[in-house]
């Protein structure tokens, strides 16, 4: 039993040892299991890390491969650039060697040119010296030319003055002839006197009864002949002394005579431009200038103007009001000069006031022309500028007048076609009457100058009566004969030329100044 007990005890002890061993084994197993779990975690982590590292390595490998490719590309490009650069370098080397050769050649040229430049500079210096000498010579010559031109101008003025004095001493009426420009069938008119411009030659051809051609040549001489190209300035240059002399106390009368359309109005009144300005505005301008110049010598002037029209022997005031002037105007002569009753006399302060006076007169003439059959060419127009001056230093006084007359068309009865028209016939008879009265007055003045006493028939027409004081031996008279160059007007032109020649040959005596001393 004991043995049994011992055995049981022993078994129990074994059991306990075994249980302990089992427990230990279990705890060991547990530890081992834990270790296993932790080892597997570790393995998992390592695996993941490894996978990540592999992935990164793969990506790195890919990027390296790309870089390698790019580097390979770059290398290729670099190689081709290098190749090109090599080519360039070899080209540049070739160019350089060529340029070097050129450079050497250019240097040689530059040296040659510099030598040439130095030689040219020396020549230039020599020329500059000569040129400044020449410039001096030229300036001297230029001054000399200016002096000579001035001398020539002065001589020309002296020549004109002397010419005028001779004319005044001769005492005849001056006559200028002006031929209008025209494009058309022109008559055979020539101007042979190219130096003094005093001659006009008109030729006409006619067939005789036998059929043979006959050419007649008519030669006329006047104080001045203006060719068609002559300008208003040139014409005025020749008459400016007359405008001047009315400031000195003379009575001056300038007529424009000629057939309708021959250029009378163009000459007297002119156009609207500077170049075409006519004799009236130019003369007035000149009178104002002359009066202004004499201010320094103590002269003070007063000027006034009137503009009348004589139509069918009645006087019409072109500065009046209304369409037609219905007033009856009378011409009065007394010691103070000629006066026309009831006409407007405009004080003239400046040349501009004359422009407005001409405008008023022209607008009235235009109205009349549209109402009455081109009346302007069928009437005489008389612009009168009266000038009175006193000298504050000397007490002298003077009175002058300037009459600028645009005469009615001078064509003869038949050629104007007036015969069948009563109004036209009356107009033409009146024009002829007054123009022949003008001729008679001039002829009588001529006779008076030659033979002494002679009655002057001023009263035979309104025109001559109005101009009595300016149409005497005591006044300066100029007739401008206007001619049309047309072949169709040849006969009229010849009549006008003959009339003007008669006037030109008339001596009317020497003009006198209207100057009074201080009283």
Ligand X SMILES: Nc1ncnc2c1ncn2[C@@H]1O[C@H](COP(=O)(O)OP(=O)(O)OP(=O)(O)O)[C@@H](O)[C@H]1O
166 or 275: CB nearest ligand X: 275
Interatomic CA distance for residues 157 and 163, integer angstroms: 10
Q: Within a 10 A sphere around the Cβ of 21, how many other Cβ atoms? A: 12
Residues annotated in a binding site: 258-265
Residue the block writes with tokens 């050769």: 101
| Residue 172, phi then psi, degrees to nearest 5 | -100, 160
| Residue 480, phi then psi, degrees to nearest 5 | -105, 115
Q: Within a 10 A sphere around the Cβ of 413, how many other Cβ atoms? A: 14
Find, among 388, 398, 386, the residue nearest to 517 by Cα.
398
247 or 408: CB nearest ligand X: 408
For residue 370, the 8-state DSSP code is H
Residues annotated in a binding site for ATP: 258-265
397 or 482: CB nearest ligand X: 482
CB 368, min distance to ligand X, A: 12
181 or 192: CB nearest ligand X: 181
378 or 476: CB nearest ligand X: 378
Interatomic CA distance for residues 262 and 177, integer angstroms: 11
Find, among 323, 423, 312, the residue nearest to 367 by Cα.
323
184 or 322: CB nearest ligand X: 184
CB 258, min distance to ligand X, A: 6
Interatomic CA distance for residues 368 and 164, integer angstroms: 39
- Cα 140–Cα 138–Cα 125 angle in degrees, nearest 5: 120
CB 235, min distance to ligand X, A: 8
CB 433, min distance to ligand X, A: 17
β-partners of residue 506 are none
The residues of the shown chain that bind ligand X, judged by CB under 6 A, are 180-181, 258, 260-266, 376-377, 409, 482
CB 321, min distance to ligand X, A: 24
Contact 319, 353 (CB under 8 A): no
- 3-class secondary structure for 210-236? CCCEEEEEEEEECCEEECCCCCHHHHH
Interatomic CA distance for residues 376 and 354, integer angstroms: 20
249 or 263: CB nearest ligand X: 263
């Amino acid at each position: 039993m004991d043995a049994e007990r011992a055995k049981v005890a022993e078994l129990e002890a074994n059991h306990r040892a075994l249980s302990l061993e089992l427990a230990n084994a279990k705890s060991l197993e547990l530890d081992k299991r834990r270790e296993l779990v932790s080892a597997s975690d570790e393995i998992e982590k390592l695996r993941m890390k490894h996978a990540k590292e592999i992935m990164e390595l793969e990506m790195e490998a890919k990027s390296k491969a790309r870089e390698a490719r790019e580097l390979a590309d770059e290398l290729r490009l670099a190689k081709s650039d290098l190749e090109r650069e090599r080519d360039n370098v070899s080209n540049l080397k070739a160019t350089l060697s060529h340029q070097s050769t050129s450079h050497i050649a250019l240097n040689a040229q530059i040296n040659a040119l510099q030598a040439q430049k130095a030689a040219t500079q020396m020549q230039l210096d020599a020329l500059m010296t000569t040129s400044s000498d020449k410039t001096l010579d030229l300036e001297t010559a230029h001054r000399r030319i200016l002096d000579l031109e001035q001398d020539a101008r002065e001589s020309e003025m002296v020549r004109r003055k002397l010419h005028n004095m001779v004319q005044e001493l001769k005492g005849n009426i001056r006559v200028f002839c002006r031929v209008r420009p025209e494009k058309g069938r022109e008559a055979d008119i020539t101007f042979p006197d190219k130096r003094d411009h005093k001659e006009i030659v008109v030729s006409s051809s006619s067939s005789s009864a036998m059929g043979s051609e006959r050419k007649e040549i008519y030669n006329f001489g006047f104080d001045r002949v203006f060719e068609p190209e002559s300008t208003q300035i040139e014409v005025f240059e020749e008459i400016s002394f007359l405008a001047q002399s009315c400031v000195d106390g003379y009575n001056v009368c300038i007529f424009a005579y000629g057939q309708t359309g021959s250029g009378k109005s163009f000459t007297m009144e002119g156009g609207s431009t500077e170049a075409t300005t006519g004799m009236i505005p130019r003369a007035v301008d000149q009178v104002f200038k002359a009066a202004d110049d004499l201010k320094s010598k103590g002269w003070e002037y007063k000027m006034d103007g009137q503009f009348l029209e004589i139509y069918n022997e009645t006087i019409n005031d072109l500065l009046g009001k209304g369409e037609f002037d219905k007033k009856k105007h009378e011409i009065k002569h007394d010691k103070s000069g000629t006066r026309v009753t009831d006409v407007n006399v405009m004080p003239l302060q400046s040349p501009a006031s004359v422009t407005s006076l001409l405008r008023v007169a022209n607008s009235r003439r235009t109205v009349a022309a549209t109402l009455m059959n081109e009346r302007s060419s069928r009437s005489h127009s008389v612009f009168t500028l009266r000038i009175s001056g006193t000298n504050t230093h000397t007490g002298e006084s003077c009175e002058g007048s300037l009459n600028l007359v645009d005469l009615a068309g001078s064509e003869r009865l038949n050629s104007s076609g007036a015969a069948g028209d009563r109004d036209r016939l009356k107009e033409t008879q009146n024009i002829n009457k007054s123009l022949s009265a003008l001729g008679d007055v001039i002829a009588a003045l001529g006779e008076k100058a030659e033979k002494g006493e002679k009655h002057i028939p001023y009263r035979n027409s309104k025109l001559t009566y109005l101009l009595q004081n300016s149409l005497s031996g005591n006044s300066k008279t100029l007739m401008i004969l206007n001619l049309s160059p047309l072949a169709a007007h040849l006969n009229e032109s010849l009549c006008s030329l003959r009339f003007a020649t008669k006037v030109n040959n008339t001596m009317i005596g020497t003009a006198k100044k209207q100057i009074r001393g201080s009283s």
